[in-house]
Amino acid sequence: MPADQVSWDAAVRHLYRDATAYIATGPRRHEDWTLDVLALMARAVPDPRGWASVDDTREDPERAGSPTWPFAVHPPRVHRATP
């Protein structure tokens, strides 16, 4: 059953009310979704639908030097077909 914006917003806020969380969705621009995750974790893209997100570390001073904090940056692996 597809979610609507109202139920999504309520669920995200209720589920993580007392925890530190980062919950977000973003646009799918690549066939390999792991490339899209990098932009999402860097908080570089908004949800194209405008749906709610939760970013409890948004104002954390440690993010000033590292926009992906508390997540480690890992370059994507390129999968090559073997001949």
Q: How far is CA 3 from CA 7, 29, 51, in A?
A: 7, 22, 11
Structural domain that includes position 11: 5-64
Length of the chain: 83
Output the six-digit token pair for 29: 């621009």
Question: How many domains is the chain partitioned into structurally?
Answer: 1
Q: Is position 70 within any domain? A: no
If phi over 0 gives left and psi between -120 and 50 gives alpha, with beta otherwise, what is residue 6?
alpha
Q: Is position 55 within any domain? A: yes
Q: Cα–Cα distance between 27 and 47 in angstroms, integer?
A: 6
Give pTM, 2 decimals.
0.53
Among the listed residues 36, 56, 33, the one whose alpha carbon sits nearest the alpha carbon of residue 45: 36
Give per-residue pLDDT as tens, 21-72: 788 899 999 898 888 888 888 888 989 899 888 887 777 777 667 767 666 6
